[in-house]
Amino acid sequence: MGPVLVPPVHRLPPEILRDIFRLLDVDRSYAFRHHGAPPLTYLSHVCRKWRHVALDMQELWNSWPRYRTADENWTLLCCSRARTTPLDLEWTVGASYRSDELNNRCHSLVRHTLPHASRARTLVINIDADFVPSVAAFWRDEVLPVLSMHFPLLEDFSYMPNIETSNDEMRIITPSIFSGVYPPHLRKMFLSSCEALQTCPIYSANLQHLHLYSARAWTDVDGMIRLFQSIPNLETFEYSLGTTEFDDDYVYDPTPSLHHPLRAVAMNRLKSFKTIQSRFVHGITILCYLALPPDANISFWWTDNEEAEEMEAHELTQAIEHMRLGSEALNQHFVSAVFTGMQPFRAVEIAGTCVRPLHVEEESADATRAPPSLSLTAPLVDTREMLLRAEPCLLTALQPIFLQATYLRLKLSDLHDIHDTEQWIALWVNLYQYQKVTDLHLFGKNVVWFFDYLVVRLNPEFPASTPALFPLLENITVSDFDFTKARRTRDGDERPFGMRFGDVVNRIFGGLESFGNVWVGHTCKGHGAAVEQLRMCLGDDRVESDDEV
């Protein structure tokens, strides 16, 4: 019998194997990490050497409890294999409204981990079925006393009661949590459906990531300012506040401060500011009082369920006033950014009510880095009255930082259930402010809307004092549009739409010395015929087919 060949990997020393195992376990954030057997259990089943190394690595067994297993053995086994290392704990309290058996099983698993809770590095608490007596008793008698201990190793804390809970012992985080002492390593926090005011020992200069989802961390604007002053090293902030009656428990008074100016709190390390499905007034108020770095990512995403037509008169007045405040704060932000070296955006996309810059290679390499992500969505543009108002535009598309664009892509889509004739009128009326546009990209249905707007500008009753539209325009690109669809006009013109569009474009832009071509993308249905129709109005040398769009 010949010699037994040992695979090279088995000749690696234990310390190298440990490093390899750690690389396999590098992502500790994926979902269901606490379900079933630990994810790298198979490493202990390869051979005797690997088993010895794996069992000696406590960090492979430190995610407790283990849910969705036939019994408690995996949880008990993990408890025995991770006796001294920091722990990743996920507590499910009250898993079911209907099954006491399921609740008792989950509580039994959590109960095994409670004596070790002070070693938690990550602590995730999910609370459901709060009105079930056994659930409330388990929380009050067993979990709360443990939460009143010191958590010296805690780095990541998530607290998520059921949004419908009325149990204040579960809904409100009190100053007694963590024995009243801020965990010195706490860097990341996710709070949902709860109240956790600044008196709680969870906010400090060490905090880097704060996500508030229908959670109240302050009661008024001055309290908000004080809280952000206490967390100056924050790097990411997300805020969400829905419109249900349960979310009402977590609103704060957004009345502007009488003691602090806009952008009162310098957040010099903040990299990302996001509102996600948030009520407009409460979300924009936060931005108004934070001075963000020039390269911070900013994203406004307001809830679709908040509509102007359902607001009381005083609510709508408040919203419009906060649009003005938000516009001013955002303008100050961009003015400060330009002062420190950031260049105005040269390429801009308006898609629906969302406005964002498009990054282009020719931006100056010497300029301060622009934010990788900037997305501003206009709020409450769901009624004709709001579509006519200037405030949503001033908050977004008409910010001066955008008006320097030389490339403009219009992807305006249908706004909620608004009819095509009730488009974002205030935007079209003010589109002339984009005076430096040389390249215009019309996407999809915007070709028709742009055509309609040009027809309006040709009307003899159109104000002659209105500045020219795109006086430096060189190219128009059309993509993703159906030229074959029949479209009626009020004047009875029965020519193909391509000819009518070309005629209007020629009358508005044909005389410009700068104007060059209309490019018809291959994504357009009937693009070949459209090219010929446009050439009949603009000339053969001014219309080209573009196979790149």
Tokens linked to 545: 């087919």
Cis peptide bond upstream of 65, omega within 30? yes
Question: How many beta carbons lie within 10 A of that of residue 419, not counting itself?
Answer: 9
Tokens linked to 323: 């649009």
Tell me the average pLDDT across 483-512.
Answer: 88
- For residue 25, what pLDDT is reported? 63
Top-confidence residue, 493 or 380: 380
Q: How many CA atoms lie within 13 A of 257 on its CB side?
A: 20
- For residue 70, what pLDDT is reported? 61
- For residue 98, what pLDDT is reported? 65
Cα 91 to Cα 34, 84, 108, 202: the distances in Å are: 10, 19, 11, 19
d(CA 43, CA 74): 16
pLDDT tens string 418-445:
444 457 889 999 999 999 999 999 999 8
3-state secondary structure of 357: strand
What percent of the chain clears pLDDT 70, i.e. is strictly above it? Answer: 85
pLDDT band at 90 (very low <50, low <70, confident <90, very high): very high
- For residue 366, what pLDDT is reported? 44
3-state secondary structure of 289: coil
d(CA 178, CA 176): 6
CA nearest neighbour of 44 among 33, 34, 57:
57
Q: How many CA atoms lie within 13 A of 68 on its CB side?
A: 7
**CA 359 to chain CA centroid, nearest Å:** 19
Highest mean pLDDT among 197-201, 381-385, 449-453: 197-201
Top-confidence residue, 279 or 425: 279
pLDDT tens string 454-467:
999 999 998 888 99
**CA 342 to chain CA centroid, nearest Å:** 23
Instruction: Let me know: does 348 contact 409? Beta carbons within 8 Å.
Output: yes
Top-confidence residue, 70 or 324: 324
User: Is pLDDT of 28 > 60?
Assistant: no
Tokens linked to 507: 């009358």
Radius of gyration of the chain (CA): 30
CA nearest neighbour of 448 among 546, 517, 524:
524
d(CA 34, CA 218): 33
User: Is pLDDT of 103 > 90?
Assistant: no
Q: Mean pLDDT over all residues of the chain?
A: 88
Tokens linked to 353: 């009510």
- For residue 421, what pLDDT is reported? 42
- For residue 69, what pLDDT is reported? 72
- For residue 39, what pLDDT is reported? 66
Query: What DSSP string describes 45-64?
Result: GS-HHHHHHHHH-GGGG-EE
The domain ranges of the chain are: 1-74
Instruction: Let me know: does 453 contact 489? Beta carbons within 8 Å.
Output: no
Query: What DSSP string describes 267-286?
Result: -TT--EEEEEEE-HHHHHHH
Query: What DSSP string describes 89-154?
Result: EEEEE---SS-HHHHHHHHHHHHHHGGGGGGEEEEEEEE--TTSHHHHHHIIIIIHHHHTS--TT-
pLDDT band at 77 (very low <50, low <70, confident <90, very high): confident
